[in-house]
Structure formats: structure tokens, C-alpha cells
Amino acid sequence: MATIERFEDLDIWKEARLLSKEIIWLSKNTELKTDYKLRDQIKNASGSVMDNIAEEFERDGNLEFRQFLSIAKGSAGESRSQLYRIYDSEYISEEELSSLVNRYLNLSKRIANFIIYLNKNEFKGNKYK
């Protein structure tokens, strides 16, 4: 794996950002915009995925990075659960639900694979030299 110097270069962060943008779009362009609590919950959860990846990447420590990736993965699961609530409230179609759930599942798998990679890597980050 090549050295990545900016969190913006991480594919998992890029995908988390795209998903967060889709949630923002839904919150502005569907009836979800009037369901303030659910709208804010899913916007926060989806934003948390990308934010946790970015926050710990900037700390420059492999050990803590795995913990924050785990939190990001949990936020992806929370976002998936809230998507079902949005669907059950009839704010999105079954096709939209399926697409977004599958993308979040794929992102969760990619985060998990990155955690596995970091677990196998001897480098613990510049913070621990």
C-alpha cells in the first residue's frame, strides 16, 4: 500500500463523503426535511463516518486509527438502520433504500478490511516512533 499523506486521498473517506452528500440531498429534497429529529440523526451519523476517518488519520497514530475506524464502521451501521426508518416513513423508495444500504454495507466491509490491514502492519504511526 502506498503511503497516503492526506485523509482526502483515502478511498473509504471519499465514499463516506459521497454517501453523506446523498443523505444531505435527501434531507433537503424529500419529506424527510420536515422530520427534524430523524433528519438530524441520519445527517449526524453519515457525517460521523467521514469525520472519524479524517480525525484519527490526522493524529498520525496507527493504534488509535483502528479505534476510530471502528467507530466510523459503527456510524455506517447506524446510518443503514436509519435508512430503514426513512423508508418505513415513506420518504424514499425501496430502490433508493436498497442502493444506499448496499453502498453502506460495501463501505463497512472496506473499513473492516482496512482495520485488518492495519492490524497486520508493523508500522504503528509516527506518533509512536
Q: Which three cell numbers stand for residue 51?
A: 469525520
Query: Quick check: helix, strand or coil at residue 41?
Result: helix
Q: 93-129: per-residue pLDDT in tens? A: 999 999 999 999 999 999 999 999 888 876 555 444 4
Q: What is the mean pLDDT of the chain?
A: 90
**Whole-angstrom distance, CA of residue 1 vs CA of residue 12:** 14
Name the pTM for this structure: 0.88
Domains of the chain: 12-122 (1.20.1440.60)
Q: Which of 1-5, 39-43, 44-48, 111-115 has the lowest mean pLDDT?
A: 1-5
Q: Is 20 exposed, middle or buried (0-12, 13-18, 19+ CB in 10 A)?
A: buried
